[in-house]
């Protein structure tokens, strides 16, 4: 029995949204009329990308990392306790944190009740459950150890979410310094400097070069600041649109991956993501070549993603994974060596898991180091700019005092 999303008007004329299970959309409309509601729209529950229209979900049919991890952990726990898949999905839907998750899980449950496997049921929501997620679940169903595979998948999702959150939190302090200092500098250039410099107008005193430069920048900010802001906004919009082109985005990602500090962090993050995904897919029984093509989708940088796909082609032709990854130049030597050791010992899945843990620690260490340096550097730069502005105002005053004293 499929699930249908509905939108209707209740007795008070308020719009109500929800999900009902029925044989057809017509039966759902009749159920709503029996309640005294007026049905507005009824559609079979699915993701917006597959329907090509507006979704009835509040927000979208996408789940964030925390929601994916929580749902997976709950399913693993319920299945391990002996509940059938259908009842486990129903229980997860009932204790969902919001209506969007409840509707997705009820729709998946409806697919399972129709006779589809859990992995096939997840295919109706590709943005909520990406290909890597579905492939792992399918492998668990085929091996007969779905609950163990879901536990491993939940561990992986929780680790990935915690890493991303730690990186985001670490960037809060430098971002605050940059924004706050920029506001202070703009206020000084547009309001404070002109009032202080007005004291020297009409005098024959020759101003220092630093003061002349600051006055020029202040005049430009007041006269053409709006134009500069428009140019910056236009440049950002043009860049965002250009990034939609695959070739342009690939060139940008190649440069980012090869940059000194930023590239190191990008390569470390994608390497950790790749190793974790390959490890969970390998332990779930997914063949290595298929796992590589699936894992390539979780790599954010296009240049590194293409390198993974090229490695998959070489492995399919009979090559070694370690050599294929090493040839691209994007992956850390430690990761390549650990993969080579796993291939030689026949314990590639275990070694990939260890490599993922190592890369996660390296990423955390790299981020902490960069953020620890970025904060003081930005503070020093902004403080230097403020000092130069103050000096540009104080130098003429000191010259005037010297003339009076002389």
The mean pLDDT value for 31-36 works out to: 79
CA distances, 265 to each of 64, 270, 292, 377 (Å):
22, 9, 22, 18
Check whether residue 326 and residue 374 sit in a common domain. yes
**Is residue 29 pLDDT above 90, yes or no?**
no
C-alpha span between 214 and 205 (Å, rounded): 17
The mean pLDDT value for 274-292 works out to: 83
3-state secondary structure (DSSP) of residue 245: coil
pLDDT value at residue 240: 92
Helical ranges in 15-64 per DSSP H: 25-34, 48-51
Write down the mean pLDDT value for the chain. Answer: 81
The answer to whether position 165 is within a domain reads: no
The mean pLDDT value for 335-342 works out to: 90
- Compute the half-sphere exposure of residue 342: CA atoms within 13 Å on the CB side of its CA: 25
Check whether residue 79 and residue 39 sit in a common domain. no
**Is residue 148 pLDDT above 90, yes or no?**
no
Neighbours of 98 (CB within 10 A): 11
pLDDT value at residue 73: 92
Task: Please give the structure tokens belonging to residue 349.
Answer: 């899945």
C-alpha span between 92 and 150 (Å, rounded): 14
Check whether residue 212 and residue 256 sit in a common domain. yes
Work out the pLDDT band at 61, boundaries 50, 70, 90. Answer: low
**Is residue 155 pLDDT above 70, yes or no?**
yes
The answer to whether position 369 is within a domain reads: yes
Task: Please give the structure tokens belonging to residue 238.
Answer: 């043009």
The mean pLDDT value for 97-118 works out to: 84
CA distances, 64 to each of 92, 123, 164, 280 (Å):
16, 17, 12, 19
Helix (H) / strand (E) element for 221: namely: helix 209-242
**Is residue 403 pLDDT above 70, yes or no?**
no
Check whether residue 246 and residue 395 sit in a common domain. yes
**Is residue 392 pLDDT above 60, yes or no?**
yes
- Spatial contact of 43 and 28, defined as CB atoms under 8 Å apart: no
Neighbours of 133 (CB within 10 A): 22
The answer to whether position 80 is within a domain reads: yes
Q: What is the CATH number of the domain that holds 127?
A: 1.20.81.30
Q: Which residues contact 84 (CB under 8 A, 6 or more apart)?
A: none
- From the number of C-beta atoms within 10 Å of its C-beta (0-12, 13-18, 19+), residue 116 rates as middle
pLDDT value at residue 75: 92
Closest listed residue to residue 19, CA positions, set 102, 143, 88: 102
**Is residue 302 pLDDT above 50, yes or no?**
yes
Write down which residue in 89, 109, 144 finishes a domain.
144
The answer to whether position 230 is within a domain reads: yes
Q: Which residues contact 399 (CB under 8 A, 6 or more apart)?
A: 205, 208
Residue-range definition of the domain harbouring residue 252: 171-406
3-state secondary structure (DSSP) of residue 4: strand
Provide the percentage of residues in the chain whose pLDDT is more than 90.
Answer: 12
Check whether residue 38 and residue 73 sit in a common domain. no
Check whether residue 236 and residue 370 sit in a common domain. yes
Closest listed residue to residue 20, CA positions, set 129, 137, 106: 106
The answer to whether position 157 is within a domain reads: no
Check whether residue 207 and residue 313 sit in a common domain. yes
Check whether residue 84 and residue 35 sit in a common domain. no
3-state secondary structure (DSSP) of residue 24: coil
Work out the pLDDT band at 287, boundaries 50, 70, 90. Answer: confident
The answer to whether position 59 is within a domain reads: no
pLDDT value at residue 311: 92
Write down which residue in 144, 162, 191 finishes a domain.
144
The answer to whether position 19 is within a domain reads: yes
Check whether residue 247 and residue 303 sit in a common domain. yes
Check whether residue 184 and residue 129 sit in a common domain. no
Check whether residue 30 and residue 78 sit in a common domain. no
Report how many domains make up the chain.
Answer: 3
Q: Which of 20-24, 43-47, 226-230 has the highest mean pLDDT?
A: 226-230
The mean pLDDT value for 396-403 works out to: 72
Check whether residue 100 and residue 208 sit in a common domain. no
- From the number of C-beta atoms within 10 Å of its C-beta (0-12, 13-18, 19+), residue 307 rates as buried
The answer to whether position 58 is within a domain reads: no
The mean pLDDT value for 197-217 works out to: 74
Tally: H helices and E strands in the chain: 18, 3
């Amino acid at each position: 029995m499929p699930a249908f999303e509905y939108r209707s008007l209740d007795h008070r004329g308020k719009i109500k949204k929800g999900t009902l299970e029925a044989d057809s959309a017509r039966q759902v409309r009749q159920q709503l009329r029996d309640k005294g509601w007026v049905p507005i729209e009824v559609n079979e529950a699915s993701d917006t990308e597959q329907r090509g229209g507006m979704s009835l979900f509040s927000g979208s049919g996408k789940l964030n990392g925390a929601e994916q991890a929580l749902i997976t952990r709950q399913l693993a726990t319920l299945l391990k306790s002996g509940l059938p898949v259908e009842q486990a999905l129903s229980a997860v839907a009932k204790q969902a944190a919001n209506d969007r998750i409840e509707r997705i899980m009820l729709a998946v449950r409806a697919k399972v009740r129709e006779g589809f496997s859990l992995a096939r049921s997840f295919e109706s929501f590709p943005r909520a459950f990406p290909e890597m997620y579905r492939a792992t679940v399918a492998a668990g169903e085929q091996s007969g150890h779905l609950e163990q595979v879901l536990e491993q998948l939940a561990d992986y999702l929780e680790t990935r979410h915690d890493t991303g959150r730690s990186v985001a939190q670490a960037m809060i302090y430098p971002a605050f310094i940059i924004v706050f200092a920029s506001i202070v500098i703009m206020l000084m250039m547009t309001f404070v400097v002109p009032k202080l410099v007005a004291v020297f107008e009409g005098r024959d005193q020759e101003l220092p070069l630093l003061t002349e430069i600051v006055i020029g920048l202040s005049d430009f900010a007041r006269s053409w600041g709006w134009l500069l802001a428009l140019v910056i906004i236009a440049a950002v919009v043009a860049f965002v649109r250009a990034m939609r082109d695959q070739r342009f985005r690939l060139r940008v990602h190649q440069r980012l991956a090869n940059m000194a500090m930023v590239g190191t962090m990008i390569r470390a993050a994608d390497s950790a993501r790749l190793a974790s995904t390959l490890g969970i897919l390998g332990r779930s029984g997914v063949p290595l070549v298929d796992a590589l093509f699936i894992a390539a989708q979780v790599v954010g940088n296009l240049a590194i993603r293409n390198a993974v796909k090229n490695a998959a082609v070489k492995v399919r032709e009979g090559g070694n994974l370690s050599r294929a990854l090493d040839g691209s130049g994007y992956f850390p030597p430690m990761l390549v060596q650990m993969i080579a050791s796993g291939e030689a010992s026949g314990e590639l899945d275990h070694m990939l898991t260890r490599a993922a843990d190592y890369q996660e620690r390296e990423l955390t260490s790299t981020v902490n180091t960069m953020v620890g340096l970025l904060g003081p550097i930005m503070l020093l730069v902004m403080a230097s700019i403020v000092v130069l502005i103050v000096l540009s105002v104080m130098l003429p005053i000191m010259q005037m005092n010297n003339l009076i004293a002389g």
